[in-house]
Chain A
C-alpha cells in the first residue's frame, strides 16, 4: 500500500509520515507559500524528506492561491479554503501516483483549521481515504517522537510565519458557506504547475 504525505515544515506532519512509513510506502507533497514566505520553509522540507528517507517529493506553488483567497473571500475562512485546495490537488496527485491514502499531521484542536467542524468541511468531497495518525495525540507525545527520529531540530529551525493566516479564523465553518466562498475563486487545480523531486 502507498500513501501521500502532506508535508509541512512543522513538527507534526514529519512525525505522521514517520509513523505511517512503518506500515506502507510513502511519498510526499508540499504546498509552497512563496512569495508570501521566504525559501527557508522549502529548505526545511527538503531536509525533512531526506531525514525521513522519502524518495519522492512533489512541490506545489501555492502562494498565488493564497493571494486569490485573500483578495476574494471572507478572511476568516482563509485556512479552511486553503486546506480544501491542498486536499483537492493532493487527491489528484495521489491518484496519478497510485497512492491509496493521504496522510496528514492533523491534531484535533491544535489550530483553528483543525476543529472537528473545520476538518469535516475541509475533507468534504474528497474521496480518497485520509489517515491522521496524530489526531488525538498530546503535543508532547508528538514532540518526543520528533526528537527521537531527528526531525524536531529541523522543524524548529528558523522559518517564516505564513502571512496568509487571518487574525480571527473561523473555528466552525459550514460547507454551504465555504462552497459559496469557493465560487468567488479562480484557482488552477491542475497538476501542470507541480515540481517533482
Chain B
C-alpha cells in the first residue's frame, strides 16, 4: 500500500503511497489535532508525532523514528474515508 523511507536529507521519515491518491484534508483536519493548515498540506499531531500530510498523499513524520508506529499511523491516515481519489 505504501513505502516508508528516510527523506533525502535523512532527518525524517517519508511515507509514499504506491499509487497516487488524493487525500481529503478537510476530513483529516476534523479527525486529528491540527497544528497548521496550509490548504495543500496539514501539519497534524497523532500519538505525539507531528506529521505533514500532503493532499497528494505523501506523509512526512518530522521526528518519529519508530517505523512500526509510522506504519500504524499511516494506515489510519490512508483510511478510505480520507481518500477522495
Residues of chain A at the chain B interface (Cβ within 8 Å): 35-38, 40, 63-64, 67, 70-71, 75, 158-161, 163
Indicate if the CB atoms of A35 and B36 lie closer than 8 Å. Answer: yes
Size of interface on B: residues with Cβ below 8 Å to A: 18
Contact code string B51-75 (vs A, CB < 8 Å = 1, else 0): 0100000001011000000000000
The SS class assigned to the B binding surface is loop
Closest CB of chain B to A46's CB: distance in Å? 15
Question: CA–CA, A70 to B52, complex, Å?
Answer: 14
Indicate if the CB atoms of B10 and A158 lie closer than 8 Å. Answer: yes
Apart from A63-B36, A160-B60: 13 A-B pairs, beta carbons within 8 A: A35-B36, A35-B50, A36-B43, A36-B52, A67-B36, A70-B40, A71-B39, A158-B9, A158-B10, A158-B11, A159-B9, A161-B8, A163-B60
Chain A to chain B contacts (Cβ below 8 Å), 7 pairs: A36-B52, A38-B11, A38-B62, A40-B11, A67-B36, A160-B12, A161-B7
Closest CB of chain B to A26's CB: distance in Å? 26
Does B35 belong to the interface (CB within 8 Å)? yes
Residue of chain A at shortest CB distance from B56: A167
Contacts of B10 in A (CB 8 A): 158-159
Question: CA–CA, A124 to B60, complex, Å?
Answer: 35
Contacts of A37 in B (CB 8 A): 62
Does B38 belong to the interface (CB within 8 Å)? yes
Question: CA–CA, A158 to B11, complex, Å?
Answer: 5
Does B78 belong to the interface (CB within 8 Å)? no
Question: CA–CA, A40 to B8, complex, Å?
Answer: 14
Closest CB of chain A to B34's CB: distance in Å? 11
Closest CB of chain A to B12's CB: distance in Å? 5
Closest CB of chain B to A114's CB: distance in Å? 19
Contacts of A161 in B (CB 8 A): 7-9
